[in-house]
Amino acid sequence: MPKTSLQRATLPNGLRVVAQSVPGVPAVGVAVHYDVGFRSEPYGRSGFAHLFEHMMFQGSRNVARGEHFSLVQGAGGLVNGSTYPDYTDYHQVVPASALERVLFLEADRMASLNVTETNLRTQREVVKEEIRLNVDNRPYGGFPWTVLPSVLYERWANAHNGYGDFGDLDKATAAECAEFFATHYMPGNAVLTLCGDIDPQHAIEAATKQFEAVPSQPVPAPVPLSEPWRPGPLLGTVRDLFAPRPATALGFRLPNPGTNLDAYLAHMVLATLLTGSEHATLKQGLAAMSVDVSSGCGLFGPLQARDPDTFIIVATHPPQVSSQQIAQST
């Protein structure tokens, strides 16, 4: 691995900046992570954080609707965003010469996102079509993360489907989007990361130039996520008309990595031992029943969410093999 250098800075408005030089990498990655995700959504507005991710590409004071994509792609770069339970990220990979262009784009929408009823109406339909494509009309679409939390957890923030219910999405208003933006999308609630063919100090100076004028605001209070340990087993069933075989998901409460990281890491090792290869213990044990099985920490991967999070085992199996047999075999 090439040697790396890394520098950190916090701007007066609260924006945290991390810059890393990686020699030999002919591009630069730019990402802004906001401390807001599915679990930050208002009650009864499932899918709102993901909907808002789409709204973030609909223009700002100095950038027209859709222009963020065209300016990045015109420089030979890639751009996208993703929403997770506890954060939303916006990322670009561009030639190093386009670094200041991307910093300008990110700073402009952080300071002055254009929230309108027209943009909301358009992006609501885009999100609904995404749900139809990736969940409703696809075998095992979103399974298990769209359904397992509602079985395991009681608090709405932890239990609801972050992709969203169409009824909830239809109720969302531009005023709610503006309030969501004002509450969560500010410098003190964000981390800017820069990595690649850069001088870290110069990159931080460039970031300061673009972001220092974004006003500081109070950071929102953390979303209450505490969840009681519930006695099991807890059972739920969902019908999937497109699935060629039944599937069973088993979820187990993970240790809190913030207070017991060793125990959390032990579960990561456990997942590798159970299903990390074709010769792993659980793979071998279920192969005779024609069961395909995987396991892992976190509904979205290891260390991608705050506590509570879930250790999952997912198996697809013939109809004659019951969920009870899968559970007993694990």
In a domain, 229, yes or no: no
pLDDT at 2: 53
In a domain, 129, yes or no: yes
In a domain, 101, yes or no: yes
pLDDT at 4: 60
User: What is the pTM (predicted TM-score) of this model?
Assistant: 0.94
The answer on 194 and 319 residing in a single domain is no
pLDDT at 93: 98
The answer on 294 and 206 residing in a single domain is no
The answer on 103 and 40 residing in a single domain is yes
pLDDT at 16: 98
Q: Which domain holds residue 312?
A: 247-329
The answer on 167 and 20 residing in a single domain is yes
In b/e form, how buried is each residue of 58-85, taking b as 16+ CB within 10 angstroms?
bbbeebeeebbeebbeebebebebebbb
Write out the two tokens for 296: 């892992």
The answer on 14 and 155 residing in a single domain is yes
Instruction: From first to last of the 330 residues of the chain, give the pLDDT tens digit.
Output: 455 689 999 999 999 999 999 988 889 999 999 999 999 999 999 999 999 999 999 999 999 999 999 999 999 999 999 999 999 999 999 999 999 999 999 999 999 999 999 999 999 999 999 999 999 999 999 999 999 999 999 999 999 999 999 999 999 999 999 999 999 999 999 999 999 999 999 999 999 999 999 999 999 999 999 998 888 789 999 999 999 999 999 999 999 999 999 999 999 999 999 999 999 999 999 999 999 999 999 999 999 999 999 999 999 999 999 999 999 988
**Using CA atoms, how far apart are residues 322 and 269, in angstroms rounded to an integer?**
27
End-to-end CA distance of the chain: 38
The answer on 169 and 97 residing in a single domain is yes
- Where among 184, 211, 238 does a domain terminate? 211
The answer on 162 and 18 residing in a single domain is yes
In a domain, 168, yes or no: yes
CATH of the domain at 149: 3.30.830.10
In a domain, 222, yes or no: no
The answer on 256 and 178 residing in a single domain is no
